[in-house]
Structure 1
């Protein structure tokens, strides 16, 4: 029987800069293969091959996608074996700590033709400098968006019925946890469900929750305590010995979009724009916090103005990401013309031999 594939993002463009969960994933893994190469699209195919290698043998895996090129895979994680294969030199560089034991480096640099690289060197340098400028503009614009979003929260925070909010939260906790208590330490894992991309906001909610029995859709306004509630929910679960998975927000790196409790098959999820979903199957329910704050007419006009400014800034951020994406695509495609495919395939074969030998030695 084949294993399952879950889709996630590994990085996000946020209002506080670029965020990734790869360091957490490296720490979570039992064994890590650090795959090193210049910027390339070819590693995505390798991560697919590795993923299918394990899926066909009954292992569940996760694929982590590039937020710039949303069909490009940056890492494959074999969940039950806790084996991670990660692109470790571009666009984020990671170095192994545990040489000779659980960390292994696979380098594709020797598969590049030095003469061809020199021929394209000047063009690649110019294009890289140009792309970095557009990424900086995109991130600066997202910082502006985050500041406007903070402004959007103020009218709701000031008038919330927090007593009613807390009473409803207590009922949720009592209903979910009852008298559960596990005699074991909890484990917290970190993921990124969604992010802003050159095509607009994207997420992998359907993939993440395809096997979850209870999905709780939080409906609320900015500043209505959704992220705080989910953090409290996760921390309470951990105090009972339950494992948790925290899905971090794609705009605010300090906020979360969901908490998943694998042992209870329950997810508490921020179901508001830009990842707004509705119940559609048995086990789905709405958790409404909108009812704890009603705006008057003047407050509504104020919020409408903020929303307009926020959406305009997000459009500009997307436009900048599109230019950055085009430059990055050109860089990768140019470098891919410099690859000696025979040497590349040889390195790939050596990697799969290591994988097979590792399986045999267990």
Structure 2
């Protein structure tokens, strides 16, 4: 029997800048390694080596993907054994308030980075500055996109029947929660459903919802109350003591995109662009907030205004993606400098030490 693999983003490039939810997922783990080092190559190599070692074994893996390179990892958790390992460098600082006695920083620079030439230092400084500027430009584009999105939402908010929205929520609560959980300790894990990446929007909806009996696909235009419904589901689940997975929006981290209760076998999620899904599994059900709560004819009445807002919004999303791709290209040049200093034997030695730690946790 092979173990399960849960994929998600722990951080994201959002309209509020870089935002991360690492602490929610690391809290409570007994043995955690925080990776530090100028080069992402060594951290990436170590994380993927651990992933390859534990993939397919009879244990549950959580893989935290990088929003700057969604094929790469920036963290791995084996919750059954209380183990985690994550990239802890800027901008992903971990709060000291959750650090336990079994937490340890692994400084890859100290272990493996030889001295750099003066020319290399100058080039690193130049590339680092250009990467930072490209990321700032991406965040500015997404922030402007969010401002435009607010105008988009207002059209529908002004035409929405909030009493009908409340009725939708109440029906869902009655249907989804048969009673209170028997769990002694309520736990909420917060993550990102998807992320803005150099490739465009990426999500792991199918992976996250794998094995669930019911999926409720929330449809509707911007501002039709999808995130509000999800927030009320969170409140109800926490009140009733259920273990909960809450997935935030990778564009606006203050909004929610999915709520999932594995104990009850269901997920309810925003199924509109850029993570638009349609019923494809037994148990899938659509809930269209536009049809249920918004005055008929709103799309037609404001068609020209909506089309212009959508054009401006997509323009900013395209610009943000372009800047992220620019940052990725520059980072590739930076990594080529560090690659010349890369020491595989040191990475292997660290890997072997961490493997011993995990095996000890397994025995315990």
- Tell me the distance in 2 between the aligned counterparts of 1:47 and 1:97: 25
What corresponds to 2:338 in structure 1?
335
Q: 1:325: how far off?
A: 1.1
> Which residue number corresponds to residue 58 of structure 2?
58
Structure 2 distance, partners of 1:211, 1:117, is: 53
Larger mean CA deviation between 158-167 and 269-278 belongs to: 158-167
SS in structure 2 at match of 1:216: strand
What is the CA–CA distance in structure 1 between the aligned matches of 2:266 and 2:183, rounded to whole Å?
Answer: 20
The 3-state SS of whatever aligns with 1:202 is: strand
Normalising by structure 2, what TM-score? 0.93
- 1:40-69 Cα offsets, whole Å, 9 max, x none, are 223223222323434444110111111111
Residues 1:80 and 1:170: Cα distance change in structure 2 (over 3 Å):
same
Secondary structure at 1:71 match in 2? strand
Does 2:354 align with 1:354?
no
Deviation at 1:264, TM superposition (A): 0.4
Change in CA separation of 1:340 and 1:281 when aligned onto 2, cut-off 3 Å? closer
Instruction: Quote the offset at 1:337 in angstroms.
Output: 1.6
CA distance in 1, matches of 2:319, 2:72: 24
Q: Following the alignment from structure 1 to structure 2, what is the Cα–Cα distance between the partners of residues 157 and 56?
A: 47
Give secondary structure in 1 for the equivalent of 2:332: helix
Q: How does 1:59-78 map to 2 (within 5 A)?
A: 59-78=59-78
Q: Does 1:208 align with 2:211?
A: no
Q: Which runs of 5+ in 1 are unaligned?
A: none
Deviations 1:150-199 (A, max 9, x none): 11000100111222222222112111113445363421111112011111
d(CA) in 2 for partners of 1:195, 1:99? 26
Offset of 1:117 from its aligned partner? 5.6
Provide structure 2 residue ranges, at least 5 long, that are not aligned to the other structure. Answer: none
Residue aligning to 2:347 = 344
Alpha-carbon distance in 2 for matches of 1:289, 1:99: 42
Contact 1:28–1:189 under 8 Å retained in 2: no
Structure-1 separation of matches of 2:164 and 2:94? 46
- Check conservation: 2:127, 2:334, Cα contact below 8 A: yes
Q: Which residue of 1 aligns with 2:85?
A: 85
Call closer, same or farther: CA 1:100–1:311 in 2, change over 3 Å: closer
Shift of 1:200: 0.9
Tell me if 1:41 matches 2:41.
yes
Over the residues paired in the alignment, what is the CA RMSD in angstroms?
2.0
Q: How high is the TM-score relative to the length of structure 1? A: 0.93
- Secondary structure of residue in 2 paired with 1:324: helix
CA distance in 2, matches of 1:96, 1:299: 50
1:311 lines up with 2:314 in the alignment: yes
Taking the aligned partners of 1:70 and 1:103, their CA distance within structure 2 comes to 26
Task: Show CA shifts across 1:273-309 (max 9, x none).
Answer: 1100001111111111111213064422211111111
Distance 1:88 1:225 in 2: 35
**Residue pairs, 1:284-295, within 5 angstroms:** 284-291=284-291, 292-293=293-294, 294=296, 295=298
Alignment partners' CA distance in 2, 1:302 and 1:127: 41
- Return closer, same or farther for 1:181/1:346 CA change in 2, 3 Å cut-off: closer
Candidates 323, 328, 343, aligned match of 1:325: 328
Q: Report if aligned partners of 1:111, 1:339 keep a CA contact under 8 Å in 2.
A: no
CA contact (8 A) 2:50 2:351 kept: no
Report the Cα offset of residue 340 of structure 1: 2.6
What is aligned with 2:7? 7
| Structure 1 runs (4+) greater than 4 angstroms displaced | 95-100
